[in-house]
Amino acid sequence: MKHHKPWFDEECLGFLDQKMQGRMQWARDPSQSNVDKLNTVKHEASRHFRNKNKAYLKAGIEELENNSKIKNMRDLYRGISDFKKD
């Protein structure tokens, strides 16, 4: 059985850490500049997560298309069931 790499990697953990640091800084000093910094970090993190997930799904779909084109039904249906489980 083929296992896919999860799209959530070390770079994503870095974005989560930045988001947490921004939230802690805002909690200590709720000034407008800290609110703006927190919102900026949150938007960057969300954009990064969305793009990573989209790239992961696109790669999986391309793999399914290739399996369909070369008539590799076993891997095609296995891949479809893996997507349904996620």
pLDDT score at 6: 73
Instruction: Give the Å distances, CA to CA, from 68 to 9, 49, 55, 62, 75.
Output: 29, 29, 20, 10, 9
By three-state DSSP, how is residue 8 classified? coil
Write the burial class of residue 38 (CB in 10 Å: 0-12 exposed, 13-18 middle, 19+ buried). buried
Give the Cα separation of 30 and 45 in Å (integer): 21
Digit-by-digit pLDDT tens for the chain (86 residues) are: 344 567 888 898 999 999 999 999 999 999 999 999 999 999 999 999 999 989 988 988 888 888 888 888 888 888 888 777 76
* All structural domains of the chain with their residue ranges: 10-85
- Residue owning tokens 């891949």: 79
